[in-house]
Copies of this chain bind each other. A is one copy, B any other.
Amino acid sequence: MITDKKLTNPFLLQADDLSIEDIYLIFEAADYFLDNYKPGVKFNDLKGVTVALAFFENSTRTKLSFELAAKRLSADVFSFQSKTSSLAKGESLIDTLRTIEAMGVQIYVVRHSCSGVPHFLQRNSSGIVINAGDGKHEHPTQALLDAFTLRQHFGSLKSLNVCIIGDILHSRVARSNIKMLSTLGANLGLCAPGTLLPRDLVKWNCKIFDDIQLAIDWANVLLVLRLQNERMESGLLPSMSEFSKYFGVKYPHLTSKPELVLLHPGPVNYGIELDYRLSSYPNVLIQTQVTYGVFIRMALLYLFKHSFLN
């Protein structure tokens, strides 16, 4: 047995569903899988458990990460996408959930372009719901893997200065990370044009930067967000190149401060929020995040099974 401790809640809808003890428990299980997985090793912990991947929005990395995590634990996995399902026939979301649930699915991984869909599903289901990104709201497993990546790199997040750069207003990644990294003791900063910052900045308890150089001077970690093309069309930005000029991270930004580390949830728009030359820079930990993402999701699935399905 990896651990006999259990998670508090039979769901993960937003970052604050996890207590600090829950987060450390997930890290402990992720450590175990990180140490013991290699090609040819398969874990039986989720044998006979069915995991539904209900992705109502395009996704490569998050969906694949959950799929691999579930398969490495021997779960039965099935994918469920709106385009190939009867949703086209007008079946409502809740009816779809009830149908899947009646078939004996135990764990639901849900991504949806509307904020709140995972919460809605969780309230109407007896299964375990994991939010894999809902609209502009939260993406808690991304925050978990970002925190785990920083913990592996720095040993601890205590007093670490983390600055989130880019379209914070529309970012579920930012929202989940602000909560989770704060819980783990990090100091948070935000750096963005005024139109891409949230209104209610006070309650977020973050330092605000409108100059990327000042942000970099302050930070131990840059968490750079993907800039969505849609933002420009909606008039929030004058142009991609202006955003890139003032808020994009350049090669000299990193080389001038050798201990500075950079995270990005991917996929990156190279040339916009990140300089092309950074794609293989050692302190850019994007591939590491992806690698740890699978172990974090194995840990999460293992702990949900162990805590609530025995």
Which residues of chain A from 241 to 270 have any CB-CB distance to chain B below 8 Å in the complex? 266-270
A287 touches B64 (CB 8 A): no
A139 to chain B, nearest CB (A): 15
Query: Given known contacts A76-B72, A102-B290, is B85 in contact with A58 (CB within 8 Å)?
Result: yes
Set of chain B residues within 8 Å of A310, measured between Cβ atoms: 40
Query: Is the C-beta of A235 less than 8 angstroms from some C-beta in chain B?
Result: no
A61 touches B287 (CB 8 A): no
Within the complex, which residue of B101, B106, B268 is in contact with A39, where a contact is CB–CB below 8 Å?
B106
Query: Given known contacts A47-B42, A48-B40, A95-B268, is B103 in contact with A78 (CB within 8 Å)?
Result: no
A81 — nearest CB in chain B belongs to which residue? B84
A266 touches B99 (CB 8 A): yes
Query: Is the C-beta of A221 less than 8 angstroms from some C-beta in chain B?
Result: no
Query: Is the C-beta of A20 less than 8 angstroms from some C-beta in chain B?
Result: no
A37 to chain B, nearest CB (A): 7
A88 touches B58 (CB 8 A): yes
A78 — nearest CB in chain B belongs to which residue? B67
Report the separation of the CA atoms of residues A269 and B92 in the bound assembly, to the nearest whole angstrom: 9
Query: Is the C-beta of A133 less than 8 angstroms from some C-beta in chain B?
Result: no
Query: Is the C-beta of A41 less than 8 angstroms from some C-beta in chain B?
Result: yes
| Size band of the interface chain A makes with B | 35 or more
Query: Is the C-beta of A59 less than 8 angstroms from some C-beta in chain B?
Result: yes
Report the separation of the CA atoms of residues A90 and B71 in the bound assembly, to the nearest whole angstrom: 28
Report the separation of the CA atoms of residues A106 and B37 in the bound assembly, to the nearest whole angstrom: 13
A64 to chain B, nearest CB (A): 6
B104 touches A291 (CB 8 A): yes
Set of chain B residues within 8 Å of A269, measured between Cβ atoms: 90
Interface string of A71-96 (1 = CB under 8 A from B): 11000101011011111111110011
Set of chain B residues within 8 Å of A41, measured between Cβ atoms: 48
- Give the one of A88, A99, A268 with max B CB within 10 A: A99
Query: Is the C-beta of A49 less than 8 angstroms from some C-beta in chain B?
Result: yes
Query: Is the C-beta of A293 less than 8 angstroms from some C-beta in chain B?
Result: yes
Set of chain B residues within 8 Å of A61, measured between Cβ atoms: 86, 99, 103
Within the complex, which residue of B42, B105, B287 is in contact with A98, where a contact is CB–CB below 8 Å?
B287
Within the complex, which residue of B40, B42, B81, B309 is in contact with A40, where a contact is CB–CB below 8 Å?
B309
B58 touches A68 (CB 8 A): no
A contact set with B: CB distance below 8 Å? 37, 39-42, 47-50, 58-61, 64-65, 67-68, 71-72, 76, 78, 80-81, 83-92, 95-96, 98-106, 266-270, 287-288, 290-291, 293-294, 305, 309-310
